[in-house]
Structure 1
């Protein structure tokens, strides 16, 4: 697997860190927005249902960029062994309170250290949704993808979903993923399984390990 940046190289701030630096209440506001959407009846769990359908019962699942924990909590409630990781400590604390069950810890995925948190690698599935893969700086993306590839079980699969216009072209993402130890199995345009086309503005991509 390829890692194009030394592990001791400083992590360049991504979009999320820059927004939080400009507005320290951003994480709280982000979580509150989804609370309002849920109260209004919005379906916020399509990503979690997607992953739940992919795996056997009692699977090990990593929610990479878990935010306030709604997907991790849903998957845990269905009997899976779930770990949620996010770089934002505020969101992790919200997740622990609002969606208990998974193991949560705060860490930049560029520096992902599962063993340091008492967690074994070998996940049956990794979910990276909510545009989380588009937030990091371009210099960090292959390091993150390499870390996630290493965290998969040999037959595990990683699922990423993000929208166009986030500063990460779909073709560049696929190239980075394949250079980082992942093999594209399927591309879709929605979490409800609509096929990906050239004019699609959202990508749901399923990868296995190389």
Structure 2
């Protein structure tokens, strides 16, 4: 069981969606992840939203011209995504053993995005396997973009993954760090409790 399921019991989809809908209604920007992704690859690019949750990032990218697939293990989150964007492809799978080709969506993605603390909420010990699997889903030159908290202030669980650990997993998977930001708005990273990392295959 991953840390997200331990935290939520796999029944939080509607609550999660409602929270972001409320933020949007109050005028807060809830599309920073999609906006950053759109600066990295052109419209029409293939995107894999890994740990897609309710589909917020992928749905926004689809609306501005991207082709994508979302994958998540939480059925309650995917139910919201399928309801809100039934024409997009949503797959239920554990990222630790997800094989896009076996799932019928192929590989060759231009960008894989893992937003929403995906890596720190994986089943402990599977981080390297997930990094390797997501790297394999990329075409040569493709990008893995992951943003996650590094301390208790930025995570709903005790921190267990450092940037050094994450970079080592990415290096072992054949990826090279190209950029690191402090936010999805691409503010420079100078240390701190949250980081958005861009690695290239």
In the alignment, is the contact (CA less than 8 A) between 2:59 and 2:85 conserved in 1?
A: yes
**What is the match of residue 207 of structure 1?**
199
Match of 1:162 in 2: 148
1:15-34 alignment runs, 5 A limit:
15-21=3-9, 25-34=11-20
TM-score under structure 1 length normalisation: 0.87
Structure 1 window deviating more from structure 2 (126-135 vs 90-99): it is: 90-99
Q: For residue 78 of structure 1, report the CA deviation from its aligned partner.
A: 1.4
Hey, what's the Cα distance between the residues in 1 that align with 2:86 and 2:64?
Answer: 13
Taking the aligned partners of 2:124 and 2:166, their CA distance within structure 1 comes to 10
Per-residue deviation, residues 120-146 of structure 1 (Å, max 9, x unmatched): 100011110111111012311001000
Question: Which deviates more from structure 2 when the two are superposed, residues 125-134 or residues 29-38?
Answer: 29-38
Aligned length: 194
Q: Does 1:135 align with 2:121?
A: yes
Q: Which runs of 4+ in 1 moved over 4 A?
A: none
| Pairs within 5 Å for 1:1-210 | 13-21=1-9, 25-165=11-151, 166-198=159-191, 200-209=192-201
Indicate the RMSD between aligned Cα atoms, in angstroms.
1.4
Distance in 1 of aligned mates of 2:64 and 2:36 = 13
Deviations 1:96-149 (A, max 9, x none): 112344211111100112123210100011110111111012311001000000
TM-score w.r.t. length of structure 2: 0.91
Please, which moves more after superposition, 77-86 or 163-172? 163-172
Query: Once the two structures are superposed, what CA deviation does each residue of 1:52-111 show, in whole Å capped at 9, x if it has no partner?
Result: 111122110101011101110011111211101111111111101123442111111001
